[in-house]
Every structure is written in C-alpha cells, then in structure tokens.
Chains A and B, each alone.
Chain A
Amino acid sequence: MTSIDESNKEKFRSVSVDLNNDASLLIDIPDALCERDKVKFTVHTKTTLSAFQKPEFSVPRQHEDFIWLHDTLVETEDYAGLIIPPAPPKPDFESPREKMHKLGEGEATMTKEEYTKMKQELEAEYLAVFKKTVQVHEVFLQRLSSHPNLSKDRNFQIFLEYDQDLSVRRKNVKEMFGGFFKIVAKSADEVLISGTKEVDEFFEQEKTFLLDYYSKIKDSTIKAEKMTRSHKNIADDYIHISATLNSLSVDDSTKVEGRVASDQELKLTELLRYYMRDIQAAKDLLYRRARALADYENSNKALDKARLKSKDIPQAEEHQQQCLQKFDKLSDSGKKELTIFKGRRVVAFRKNLVEMAELEIKHAKLLDFYELFKNELQK
C-alpha cells in the first residue's frame, strides 16, 4: 500500500500546460492508495460555482470511473464538435511487479547489499509508475474543468460530487458492447476520412497534418520507450558492478545512470505518449466531422430521390437541414478546438523539452562522481 504527498507530485507536474488556474473550478488528486491491482484516487474539488452543493469536497474514485466519464462524454452528441481529452490509460504495475518477482527468486545469488540496492531501485520504479498514473488521471480532469463547454457537463459534475460508489451508475454490459462497435466504426472512419473530398482548406490541411504527425509521433513514442528500457538495463548493471566492487573493497561508485534513466528519458517518453493520445483525440474529432459530412451528403441524395418521387419531401428536407446544421456546428467548433490544440501542443512541448534539458544538465554534473572515483583509485 503506497500513497503520495504534495511535494513529490510537484516534480511530475503536467505533461500539458498548467491547467488548474481558473479559481471557479479547481481540481486535483492530492492522495491515492494502491491496493494490489486497484488504485483509489481521492478527487478533490474547490469551486465557487453554484452548480455544486458545497464549495469544497473530496470523493474516492477508481480508474473505471474515469473511463466511464470519458466514454459518456464521447457518446454525447452535443460534444461531437469538440476534442474530448484522451482517457487516462489503465495503471500498469506489471513491469515492476514482474521484476520484483524475479528479484525475489534471485535473492540467493546476490550479496545483501546488492539485493537492497536492487530492491530500492525497483521500489523507485514502482513509485514512478504510481505517480505517473495519478498525474495522468489528474490532467484528464483538469482538461475537462478548463474547457468552457465540457466543464459544465452534468456527468462531469456527478463524477466530482457524487459521494457514493459510482459503479452503480456505470453500465457494464452495454459498455463492452459499445466498445466493440467503436473499434469497428474506427476502421471505417479511417477509410472515410481519407476518402472524403474536403471543401474547407483549413480542414484539409489539418487532416493531412494530423494523420502524418500521428504516425510519426507514435513511432517516436515506441522508440523512446525502447531507449528508456536500455537505460534501465544499464542502470541495473551499474548496481551490480558497484556492489561487487564494494565487496572487493574498492570505494563505492554511486549509481549515476539509475537516476538518469528514471527521470529525463521518462519525461520525454511521457510527453510523446501523451501527445500521441491527444492527437488521436483530435483525429476522432475529424472522424466525427467526416461522418457528419457523409450524413449530409447522403441526406442530399435522399432529398433528391424524394423530389424525384414526389414523396416525403418535407421529412427529407428537414433531415437535410439537420445534417447541414450538425455539420456546420462541427466544422465551427472543430476549427476552434484544433487551433487551440495546436497552440497548446507547442507550448507543452516547449515546456517539457526545456525541463528535460535541465535535467540532463543536472545529471551531467553528477558525472563528476566518475572523477572522484578515478581519483580514489589513483591514490
């Protein structure tokens, strides 16, 4: 069972830019508990809005509750023209847990010191995964609270306020069903979006850019992950080396590489991963718009047919009007959303790259330890 505190969280703050600055609705996750597989988040809200019953309150939430909220928002027609913030990924403790298991098995082959160090390293990894998942869930909520439309969503308010177990309200079977259809629809969307002729210059550009950028950023994320894992392997080797050198009674060399792996590569990987998901969300918006356009075109065809047959013209006209309206609405809000998205992405990248560079410099200074080590040996 592990929990975190404020000071530790600061180091891992926002992959995105600082979202929590509108005092009318402030959300954060000050605390979280890890029980076996499940993580329980404490969602804390401070608000001046009259829509809520109290000015300040906290509720416990599970990962599944976040997913429910996300899916509900996605399925809401009214938000079709908005970029819904990507759902936070499920907390994944598989990797550190597996390593911990292996460590337990190999305990006999190591010295006590080595074992302790490896254990510490693993615990740090475990903690890093934990902090990461808290942060990602927090950012999700903060994106919602800072969005002019989404922050007013009734379900969002329920999520924040309802002090009983939300799982009662969650639809289980239907969710699974819905998920399957979503996947099928997605692949159809891919075809649709590349096939549709685009009249609007802005959207044409956006579409090309996002499709291309998405595949590149996905590629970068995978490769960054591989790099991080290599670094981790080296860090582990350093632990073994320092432990063995120690037992040969040479001065202990500090494990510099370990920290390097945990901090800055992780940052870069996380940044890429988050934006990969965010871009997917933007793409989803484009899909919806493409679907709306297709609907509109179909309704036009239906209207023409009706006119030919001189039957059901008013319904067809009405339907056509609806489709057009929907499409226009999506196009309008879509344009706004995508423009904001662009700006936000650039700022976030800048901030994170700067932080990453600073971390690298800090660790380069730690390499002075090698100097010390060398001097010790020469004595």
Chain B
Amino acid sequence: SSVTPQPAVSMQPPSLEQLSPHWSQLEDDEAKDRFDVDVSVTNPEKVGDGMNAYMAYKVSTRTSLTMFRCKTFSVRRRFSDFLGLYEKLSVKQSLHGCIIPLPPEKSVVGMTKVKVGTDDPSSVEFVERRRAALERYLQRIVSHPSLLQDPDVREFLERDDLPRAVNTQTLSGAGFLKMINKASDAVNKMTLKMNESDTWFDDKFQEVESEEQQLRKLHAVVDSLVTHRKELCGNTAVFAKSMAMLGNSEDNTALSRALSQLAEVEDKMEQLHQEQAASDFFIFAELLADYVRLLGAVRGCFDQRMRAWQRWQEAQSTLQKKREAEAKLLWANKPEKLQQAKEEITEVKKVMKIC
C-alpha cells in the first residue's frame, strides 16, 4: 500500500512505523517483508588510474513488479551516483514525511588508499565495507513503498547511462549527521512550538531521541575502545621486543629460552589485538554510526512535520488577517481592493493546502 503525506490535521503514521529502527520491531518487520524487489550491490571494480580513479559497483535488481522494464537487470554505478540519488530524493516535496535513508559517508582517507592502488588488506576491507553499506542503503530505499514509486529511484536502478551527479559537493565537508543536526537545531530555535495533540508522535519522538542518545554514547565508547586497543598493540609490540632483549641477556639457558618464547607469544598477541581493533572498528563502530545516521534521518522527519505545522499556523494567521482586511474593505466599499483581497485569500488557501 502506498502512502501519500496528508495535511497536519490528521496524519497517518504507517510509513514511520514501517521504518522504525527499534531493534525488536525491525526483526518483526524483516519477517513480514515481501521481496517484490531485491537489490544487491556486488563486483567492485577499479576504473581508471591515479587520483581520477573510482570504484564502480554492479547494482543488480530482481523484481516481479510491472513498473520495471525487465524482471532482472543490472547497471554499473559509482559512489557519487548513490549520493546524487539521495540529493534528489531529499529535496522532493512529495517525499516530505518519509524517512529517506542515508548513504554511507564520504571518506577521503579510505578512497585515497584505493586510488593509489595499494592492495593492502585495509583498503580491501574498506571497499568491502562500503559495498555492504551501499547495499544496505538501496535495500532500505526499495523496501519503502513511496520511494520505490519514485521515478528517480527507478532511473537509478534501470538506466544504463546515468548522468553524473554534480551536487555532491554540498554533502562533502559536513557529513550527513552534521547536516541533519544543523537543520534540527534551526527547528528547535523557532519560537512557535507545536502543541502536540497526537500522543503517538510524542512517544515515538521520545523513543527516537533516547535511542539515538544511547547509540551515540555507545559509538563514542567503541571509538575509545578502538583507540585503546591500538595503543595496546603498540605497547605489546614494544614490550615483546624488550622481553626478547632480556632473554638474550639472561645467562641461564632455560630461562633465556623461556623469556624469548614469551616475547614471541606477546608478538602474536599484538597481531590478535590488531585484528580485533580492525573488526571493532569496521563492524561495530561503523554499524553504530550507520544507525545513528538513520535515527538522525527519523528526527529529520519529525522536524519536517513540525515545520509543516508551523507553516500551516503562519498561513492560518495570514488568512485571518486577510479576512479582516477583506471585511474592512467591504465596509469601506472599494471594489478593486476587494477583488485584490479575495485573490490574496485564495493564494493563502493554496499555501495551506500544501502544508
């Protein structure tokens, strides 16, 4: 069932509920998901050389829906295409009130390594993480009924030759989270606060806020864990060397051997710590960051609703003023001005309809 956003007076909540990131609910939803559309992102391939090089991913779609040209098809897309899609979706009025999923963050460091061409495990890992994140992103999009209907989304999935996205610069420095936070702050500063008549929204908002807080906190701690583990790596390596030297100095042969072995064990420990730190970062921390961003997007929706309500309020008060003016004119018997006033009233009513 597709949902169209309606004026603030009576809001249907289904789209928000469907995409609520509360974990247990997410599991329930996953069970109910019917995969009319299945999207996957695979086969990362490096295109070009040097600093102009980029990774191209294969985006494959399998679907039973008739709105698509074929049942299975695939295209090649690059990272900026995904960002471009988000850009297009996020400015559409028709999608206001929908939680638009966020693509993964840009990463200068990660990409530079890839461009330079070193085949070391960390850049391989980076590409893999990005691929997985892009896949998650698309899957979220197609499981949202409104987004699936959107022509830009369809074009993204189907069209062989997609025009290069040029507006992605706006997404560069700030990063998504900062962007959302800025918008959110602006809303909070608005003086006209909404009287929440629908408790469902109030509850959900509290939930989302507290969850986001928790996840942010968790993310910060995991970050700290990664840092400390890296420190431990360094210290263990240094210690292992020191032990080896001590073993060399030791004149009792058995003890000397024992100390040298201890040094080797500590060296191995350092390797383990390194691996652990890497997986802590890529798996745990990145996942948390992803969810925090998603919750940010949810909050963005709440904000949109609030802004819509505010505009509606403003329009209402404008309408009031115009009506009063009209009444005055009626009294004063000035037909041209009256016509003008009537036109103005019609305009305001149009604005209200959009709200």
Given A217-B246, A220-B242: A234 and B235 within 8 A (CB)?
A: no
A227 x B236 contact (CB < 8 A): yes
Given A226-B239, A230-B231, A238-B225: A244 and B245 within 8 A (CB)?
A: no
The 8 Å CB contact of A212, one of B217, B218, B249, B259, is: B249
Task: Bits for B189-227, please: 1 = Cβ < 8 Å to A, else 0.
Answer: 000000000000000000000010011011001101100
List of A residues within 8 angstroms of B254 by Cβ: 346, 350
Return the chain A residue nearest B219 by Cβ: A244
Distance between Cα atoms of A220 and B240 in the complex (Å): 9
List of B residues within 8 angstroms of A247 by Cβ: 214
The 8 Å CB contact of A353, one of B222, B229, B239, B258, is: B258
B221 x A224 contact (CB < 8 A): no
Task: Bits for A206-232, please: 1 = Cβ < 8 Å to B, else 0.
Answer: 000100110011011001101101110
Tell me the smallest distance from the CB of B272 to a CB of chain A, in Å: 11
Tell me the smallest distance from the CB of A273 to a CB of chain B, in Å: 13
Given A209-B251, A219-B242, A346-B254: A227 and B232 within 8 A (CB)?
A: yes
Distance between Cα atoms of A189 and B243 in the complex (Å): 28
A227 x B221 contact (CB < 8 A): no
Interface residues of B in 243-262 (CB under 8 A from A): 243, 245-246, 249-252, 254-255, 258-259, 262
Return the chain B residue nearest A233 by Cβ: B228
List of B residues within 8 angstroms of A349 by Cβ: 255, 258-259
Tell me the smallest distance from the CB of A237 to a CB of chain B, in Å: 4
B225 x A223 contact (CB < 8 A): no
A342 at the interface (CB under 8 A from B): yes
Interface residues of A in 337-358 (CB under 8 A from B): 342, 346, 349-350, 353
List of A residues within 8 angstroms of B214 by Cβ: 244, 247-248
B232 x A244 contact (CB < 8 A): no
The 8 Å CB contact of A223, one of B224, B242, B262, is: B242
B258 x A237 contact (CB < 8 A): no
B221 x A240 contact (CB < 8 A): yes
A241 at the interface (CB under 8 A from B): yes
Distance between Cα atoms of A250 and B250 in the complex (Å): 50
Given A216-B245, A216-B246, A353-B258: A223 and B235 within 8 A (CB)?
A: yes
List of B residues within 8 angstroms of A224 by Cβ: 239
A-B contact count (CB 8 A): 83
B251 x A230 contact (CB < 8 A): no
B232 x A231 contact (CB < 8 A): yes
A245 at the interface (CB under 8 A from B): yes
Return the chain B residue nearest A360 by Cβ: B265
Tell me the smallest distance from the CB of A243 to a CB of chain B, in Å: 9
List of A residues within 8 angstroms of B262 by Cβ: 353
List of A residues within 8 angstroms of B211 by Cβ: 248
Given A230-B232, A349-B258, A353-B258: A220 and B243 within 8 A (CB)?
A: yes
Given A223-B242, A346-B254: A244 and B218 within 8 A (CB)?
A: yes
Distance between Cα atoms of A213 and B251 in the complex (Å): 9
B242 x A216 contact (CB < 8 A): yes
Tell me the smallest distance from the CB of B70 to a CB of chain A, in Å: 36
Interface centre among A212, A245, A248 (most CB of B within 10 A): A248
Return the chain A residue nearest B225 by Cβ: A237
The 8 Å CB contact of B228, one of A213, A223, A237, A244, is: A237
Q: Which DSSP category, helix, strand, loop or mixed, fits chain B's interface?
A: helix
Contact-residue size bin, chain B (C-beta under 8 Å from the other chain): 20 to 34
Distance between Cα atoms of A346 and B217 in the complex (Å): 48
B246 x A230 contact (CB < 8 A): no
List of A residues within 8 angstroms of B218 by Cβ: 241, 244-245, 248
B238 at the interface (CB under 8 A from A): yes
Distance between Cα atoms of A234 and B221 in the complex (Å): 10
List of B residues within 8 angstroms of A220 by Cβ: 239, 242-243, 245-246
Given A241-B218, A353-B262: A226 and B225 within 8 A (CB)?
A: no
List of B residues within 8 angstroms of A245 by Cβ: 218
A234 x B225 contact (CB < 8 A): yes
The 8 Å CB contact of B238, one of A212, A226, A241, A248, is: A226
Distance between Cα atoms of A213 and B228 in the complex (Å): 31
Return the chain B residue nearest A231 by Cβ: B232
The 8 Å CB contact of A244, one of B217, B231, B255, B258, is: B217
Tell me the smallest distance from the CB of B290 to a CB of chain A, in Å: 15
B221 x A244 contact (CB < 8 A): yes
Tell me the smallest distance from the CB of A375 to a CB of chain B, in Å: 16
Distance between Cα atoms of A36 and B156 in the complex (Å): 70
Closest 7 CB pairs of A and B: A230-B232, A237-B225, A233-B228, A223-B239, A240-B221, A227-B235, A220-B242
A-B contact sample (17 more), CB < 8 A, given A227-B235, A350-B255: A209-B249, A216-B245, A219-B246, A220-B242, A226-B235, A227-B232, A227-B239, A229-B235, A231-B232, A233-B232, A244-B214, A244-B218, A245-B218, A248-B23, A342-B251, A349-B258, A349-B259
A-B contact pairs, 23 of them (CB 8 A): A212-B249, A213-B249, A213-B250, A220-B242, A220-B246, A223-B239, A224-B239, A227-B236, A233-B228, A234-B228, A234-B232, A237-B224, A237-B228, A244-B217, A244-B221, A248-B211, A248-B215, A346-B252, A349-B259, A350-B254, A350-B255, A350-B258, A353-B262
